Structure 1
Amino acid sequence: MTATRLALDLAVTLRHDGHGGVADDLADTAGLATWVRDRATLLDCCAHPGAVDQELLDTVRELRAAVRSLFARAVLPGPPSRADDRRLLPEGEAIGRLNAAAAGVATVPEFSWAPGGSPAVRIRPTGDPSAADRLTAALARAAIAFLQGPERDLLRACPAPRCVRYFVKEHARQEWCAPSCGNRARVARHHERRRAGQGGAP
């Protein structure tokens, strides 16, 4: 996963639960701690992201709401995810949340060039920001990079029944976020055709 894909990864922490509802991988502080730990390098939190408390959970969930609201704008004229169509933030508020989080940590570029490797630039925080601020700033910067980058035009809301995920369309024939969603959509279409056929029978 690239750093910019963190935005998509954050958005899809809301997912269908397999029973017609929506599951939240960030439902509690333990869920967020696990999610962060699995992405610590990309989040610039090293191996110790700090304490994951209710305040940080609320902040990350607020960022997620902003990201998903802007994803809904990005997929226009298509419909947004079913999880978002009734609770989208105003665009100005969503943008403001991203900008405020990104501005919470000042950064400088740090150039490196290892022997036998390629030149690289890492964005390094200045001063001594808290792990929580570094985490939320990294998420916000990833979202900004994603939304201003080329993958924004490939973003889609999965149309499969009950799915609430967004995905990046990797190839021309891709319609769903995952093969399981394609299977579920085909089964739903089959049942719908059968119901329509039965309804038209004398």
Structure 2
Amino acid sequence: METTAQLLGEPLPVELMNTIWADRDGVHDALADPDGTRAWLRAVAPRIALLADHDLAGITAADTADLAGRLVLLRDALRRLAAEATGDPRTAAASAIRERDAAIAAVNQAAGAVPTWSALTWVAGEAPVRHVRTQGHAAGAAVSAIAEEAIGMFSRGDEAGLRACLAPGCVLYFVKDHPRREWCSPSCGNRARSARHYRRHRTGGSD
């Protein structure tokens, strides 16, 4: 099973925010069930140093359900903070977490839930290698790693580049990595331009 989330190459906290997505049928949740959670984790695993396919294969159904709950809580907290940072006006994109302090507490809790640390191995004749170790199963530690990355993003001021995609019907976020970038994806850009063209045609003027 492939994840239904739109992976846009954004930082992992933003990719997690974007597990809430929308189309003409409404707003969807890519983490709505254990299979969806497992599919999303498998899709982002190559970007998380401590998570591999065999880690996901070894977790139980109960563990997967727990992970889904933790990821959804972290996702909703990050979307609340993203809305704060971007002044997001989109009603459909509103987080289930309404209070900023509750969102901050959820992120902090997620970051500290499963400790990780670095370990060095150095085989004679080979280059030294850094490994990431974890207390508990790796998939759980991946949630903490995403929370840790989010804390770094917000505390360094990186959220200044964070944007809410204001294309019609979109609920995604993105990082503005180019001065001319206005939308999360080319398809949203096309949709926004089409809507703009329609408004100009209807009113007979410019917007």
- TM-score (normalizing by structure 2): 0.78
Change (3 A) 1:113 1:130: closer
CA distance in 2, matches of 1:8, 1:98: 13
- 1:51 match: 60
Q: Look up the match of 1:164.
A: 171
2:70–2:110: 8 Å Cα contact kept in structure 1?
no
| Aligned 8 A contact 2:166 2:183 in 1 | yes
Instruction: Name the counterpart of 1:178.
Output: 185
Question: Structure 1: any 5+ residue segments left out of the alignment?
Answer: none
Q: SS at 2:93's partner residue?
A: coil
CA separation of 1:36/1:129 partners in 2, compared to 1, >3 Å: closer, same or farther?
same
Check whether the contact 1:157–1:164 (CA below 8 A) recurs between aligned residues. yes
* Residue 118 of structure 2 is aligned to residue 109 of structure 1: yes
Note if contact 1:65-1:89 (Cα within 8 Å) is conserved in structure 2: no
1:8 to 2, 8, 14: 14
Question: Displacement, 1:69?
Answer: 0.7
| Aligned counterparts of 1:120 and 1:12: Cα–Cα separation in 2 | 33
2:149 & 2:91 partners in 1: Cα distance?
24
RMSD: 2.9
Contact 2:76 2:95 in 1 (8 A): no
1:42 maps to 47
> C-alpha deviations, 1:139-162, integer Å up to 9, x for none?
211221222235311100001000
Structure 1 residues 161 and 121: CA distance shift in structure 2, 3 A = same
1:113: Cα distance to partner? 7.2
What's the offset of the Cα at 1:111?
4.3
Higher helix share: 2
How high is the sequence identity, in percent, across the aligned residues? Answer: 38
Counterpart of 1:148 in structure 2 is 155
- 1:94 is matched with which residue? 103
Output the CA distance in 2 between the equivalents of 1:63 and 1:71: 12
Higher relative contact order, chain-length normalized (CA < 8 Å, sep 6+): 1
Q: Is the 8 A contact 2:162 2:173 kept in 1?
A: yes
Tell me the alpha carbon deviations over residues 81-109 of structure 1, each in whole angstroms, 9 at most, x when there is no partner.
54333744311111111111211122333
- Of the structure 1 ranges 160-169 and 41-50, higher mean CA displacement relative to structure 2 is found in 41-50
**Residue 32 of structure 2 corresponds to residue 27 of structure 1:** yes
Distance 2:200 2:25 in 1: 21
TM-score, structure 1 as length reference:
0.80
Q: Structure 2 CA distance, aligned partners of 1:111 and 1:149? A: 27
Q: Using a 3 Å threshold, how does the CA distance of structure 1 residues 185 and 87 change in structure 2: closer, same or farther?
A: same
Which range moves more in the overlay, 84-93 or 183-192?
Answer: 84-93
Equivalent residue pairs, number: 191
